[in-house]
Chains A and B, each alone.
Chain A
Amino acid sequence: DAGITQSPRYKITETGRQVTLMCHQTWSHSYMFWYRQDLGHGLRLIYYSAAADITDKGEVPDGYVVSRSKTENFPLTLESATRSQTSVYFCASRDRVGNTEAFFGQGTRLTVV
């Protein structure tokens, strides 16, 4: 299917565990992003990538790791999950510099217990 897909849709994990959220896009967009969305806050950027093998921190990167070995995939890893990382995570992609419309996945609701 064309578009951007995230998996899993829902995840419950325990404090201290490592968990990876997957993101896959079929458009060959250059830019990919990971955001978290918490009640009362706007979307906050965790990490972004301008191209394969190029990643950079956003405003809330602590406790997260990303990689982008292929243009279409951008996994987000929580190295040692904490309760404060309970959130809804959105992956997004954008096709070129200057075109700021971001296309979003369905989101992953992560609960850390």
Chain B
Amino acid sequence: KNQVEQSPQSLIILEGKNCTLQCNYTVSPFSNLRWYKQDTGRGPVSLTIMTFSENTKSNGRYTATLDADTKQSSLHITASQLSDSASYICVVSPADSNYQLIWGAGTKLIIKP
């Protein structure tokens, strides 16, 4: 069964610190993986997309990695800011569907001053 598992479920860090969020998936065949950020009370917004051939991609202070062999991805946040407080959701697209997205449950990140 296609699944996406994220860890940790929640994380609290101090402002200015770094953190890494994990995503493991069993989706096959694989097309791509996206990380979304969801602020409280808002819809998710895409941060980055990783395709099969990409290992690392950065978007400002966010760096995503993908290991397609082990089916793992991570999202590293550098020098965290209060505005980084949100849920971060890993989403995998199967290659055999035009519409399906497999959503993880998300990691709730809280940045404390």
Contact = CB atoms under 8 A, between A and B. Distances in A.
A48 interface: yes
A42 B49 contact: no
Q: How large is the interface on B (under 10, 10 to 19, 20 to 34, 35 or more residues)?
A: 20 to 34
Interface residues of A, number: 22
Contacts, number: 50
A31 interface: yes
B98 A42 contact: no
Nearest to A105: B43
B110 interface: no
A42 B34 contact: no
A66 interface: no
B98 A97 contact: yes
A44 B101 CA distance: 9
A48 B99 contact: yes
Nearest 6 pairs of A and B residues by beta carbon: A104-B43, A42-B103, A43-B103, A100-B93, A97-B98, A42-B105
19 contacts: A31-B99, A41-B105, A42-B104, A42-B106, A43-B89, A43-B103, A48-B99, A90-B43, A97-B98, A100-B31, A100-B32, A100-B34, A100-B93, A102-B46, A104-B42, A104-B44, A105-B43, A107-B41, A107-B42
Interface of B: 4, 31-32, 34, 41-46, 49, 89, 93, 98-106
Interface of A: 31, 33, 40-45, 48, 50, 90, 92, 97-98, 100-107
